Amino acid sequence: MTFDPSVFLPNPPVRKKISRILQASLTAVDPAAAVQRTLQQEGDILTVGERRYDLDSYQRVFVVGAGKAGAPMTQAVEAVLGERISDGLVVVKTDHSGPTERVRVVEASHPTPDAAGVAAGREILALAGDARSDDLVIALLSGGGSALLVSPAEGLTLADLQGLTASLLACGATINEMNCLRKHCSGVKGGQLARAVAPAALITLVLSDVIGSPLDVIASGPTVPDSSTWADAWALVEKYNLVEELPPAIVARLQAGLKGEISDTPDASDPVFAHSQTVVVADNFLAAQAAKAAAEEEGYCSLLLTTFLDGDAAGAGRLLAALAREVQTSGNPINAPACLILGGETTVQLGSNPGKGGRNQEVALAAALALQGSQGITVVSLATDGTDGPTDSAGAMADGGTVARGEVAGLSAADHLGRHDAYPYLVASQDLLRTGPTQTNVNDLLFVFVEEM
């Protein structure tokens, strides 16, 4: 029997519909549009949410920030405030820059911090420290800010922070857990930028990339009160058995903090937050709602299940496949043609010799194994920033033919999944999503599409 791989090729009409739905979700959380919806200026009055600021009462306006969406957010602030901006600096991920007029945008490394991030952190802290009581500081924060805005705490080096990041990425810690430790090893995170800004007025605009949008976790909360403590940070070291993995200087600092020898990050009672306002301008829920509306326009019955998905990426892939089977078999929770939408952020605990991929690719490959031979089902996992792991992929699709298409190239899906090496398999199966940098970042979006048979 001759195997005909063309039988298993992806369905172009279905995938075109899916692509339009994904695009709608990204458009809804465009950073520039989100900022301009939030900042409204009429004459000398700037309205931000429910607060009004008389711009004539401020001598200077500074703009600082960090994150993958920093360039379009900065461009939007410049479009609103123009020549009122005195100075500013925003640090973004490499290849995520854009033209600006009054605020400098610089690039640094992500997810592992580098010297450029340290230089940017030093300059941003200097700008913040120069602000007086009659100045206004606008901080722009988005996903990736934790790695990009870097200021090693006293006694630590960039190499120490790089070792901390590597250990956290390898152990499978959640973003909340990672940022708890980052804050306690930094001179800018965990409310410490706000400490530098005080007593100037501070407005923080946030594009959320964290489940539930906890403000002290997004970009490690440099301008908001920190709810975590030294005890929380040390508990994570013990949870993931990191004492021998972390740089000795990191361990020594955490132990000193635990003993009360180093003051903790500022909490909600600290007066440095007396003149501070924080607004989330866009998040995963907004993107998911837009996807739901677009799916219905494409003829799908659509249901948003959650924006709080977390846990193991491969497990999430198997869950999506199970949901698809349930819809196809019983019409529960909705009938086909169906689109189920989930948002959040999964994790991957890497082994000693991991391959190439990202959490969204791992979701898709695990789903593909569970969907072998099925028809009319497509699972999608998308990183809204356009970058899934250290790859050029934004995630992947998977259907009943994904495993067979990879096998034609002599690959084993189970083997690649077990080695966290999804990328080469999904290249062979023609299932990768490539968007390039989207310059937004609101967690991941995961979809289950079930066609009417």
Question: Quick one: pLDDT band at residue 8, thresholds 50, 70, 90?
Answer: very low
The string of pLDDT tens digits covering residues 114-138 is 999 999 999 999 999 999 999 999 9
Quick one: which H or E segment has residue 105?
Answer: strand 104-108
DSSP code of residue 91: E
The string of pLDDT tens digits covering residues 186-237 is 999 999 999 999 999 999 999 999 899 999 989 999 999 999 999 999 999 9
Which of the four CATH numbers 3.40.50.1240, 3.40.1480.10, 2.40.160.20, 3.40.50.720 does domain 5-26+285-450 have? 3.40.1480.10
The Cα 395–Cα 64 span in angstroms is 31
Q: 30-151+186-228+265-282 — its CATH code?
A: 3.40.50.10180
The Cα 221–Cα 188 span in angstroms is 9
In 10 A of CB 146, how many CB atoms? 28
CA distance readout (Å), 394 to 79, 251, 390, 435: 29, 35, 10, 6
The string of pLDDT tens digits covering residues 242-282 is 999 999 999 999 999 999 999 999 999 999 999 999 999 99
Domain boundaries defined on the chain: 5-26+285-450, 30-151+186-228+265-282
Q: Report the predicted TM-score, pTM, of the whole model to 2 decimal places.
A: 0.86
Q: What is the DSSP string of 9-50?
A: S--HHHHHHHHHHHHHHHHHT-HHHHHHHHEEEETTEEEETT
